[in-house]
Amino acid sequence: MKRKLEIVVISDTHLATIGSRARELNKYLKSINPEKIILNGDIIDIWQFSKRHWDKYHTKLIKQLLKFIANGTEVHYIVGNHDESFRRFLNFELDGFKITNKLKLEIDGKKAWFFHGDVFDVTMQHARWITRLGGFSYDALIFLNASVNWVLSLLGSEKISFSKTIKNKVKAAVSYINKFEDTVGEIAIREGYDYVVCGHIHQPCIKTIKNNSGSVQYLNSGDWIENLTSLEYHNKTWELFQYDLSSIKNQDLEEEAYKGTKELFSELVTDFNLDTNAN
């Protein structure tokens, strides 16, 4: 039986990259029956798009979204930084599907503000090449993490996440995340919103942010690379959904450990060189 939900928010799937989890995301979508789906940025990763990472599960995922639209589900595509090329189609709308920069909704009498969050990223505004380099480095980190986890699985040891460790332990990363959340919260309070919903930083969260002017519920949908999370709204309540990580066997990311190490890093370096030369 599919779970009925009023709103589902998904972000940072980074489809067509080494870390994308199209198979698991498709399984999740098949298990729900939402009234609205909000794709909150970085869905198809144009920056690091690779045909060899677009497998049959990516195609099935797109078909599932089209099926939702055909059955009356509203699908809102909010553009992020990795899919910023779609900004040329802003405000495109057709049969329940719309591409936008941000979304404002009234939900059970409360005001909600949805946007990806890259607008608050200083490097996005002033040093885009650093952000691009960070994206390529993240891909390399995911690849290395997959290789290590493949070895750990053979030894019967628990898998680890390099990027989660960095985000949770490195002071600069923790400071960046806290500053992002506080900035978003302060602006949302000033504008009179009850909910502010973001993606971008791959850090799933539901918490209340307060200051002298009031409070707001801050929500972040996380990502579908490592956390495999989404936000669900039903019966006047927001909840974080997390895909059952224990159900993931030695597939997908681990399989990438076999697939041409030299080719992968050559591809990353070539793409980065092309980008920097263009700028």
For the stretch 68-125, pLDDT in tens is 999 999 999 999 999 999 999 999 998 899 999 999 999 999 999 999 998 875 444 4
Classify strands 74-78 and 93-94 as parallel, antiparallel or unpaired: unpaired
Indicate the pTM of the whole model: 0.77
**Contact status, residue 209 vs residue 233, Cβ threshold 8 Å:** no
CA distances from 156 to 13, 60, 91, 149, 150 (A): 28, 32, 50, 10, 10
**Polymer length in residues for the chain:** 279
Cβ atoms within 10 Å, residue 242: 12
Handedness of CA 91, 48, 249, 246 (dihedral sign): negative
The more confident residue out of 256 and 61 is: 61
For 260, the token pair is: 């041409």
| 185, pLDDT greater than 60 | yes
Of 14-28, 83-97, 206-220, the range with the highest mean pLDDT is 206-220
Q: What domains can be seen in the chain, in order of their start residue?
A: 3-278 (3.60.21.10)
Percent of the chain having pLDDT more than 70?
68
Q: Which of the two residues, 226 and 152, has the higher pLDDT score?
A: 226
DSSP-derived pairing of the beta strands 3-10 and 205-211: unpaired
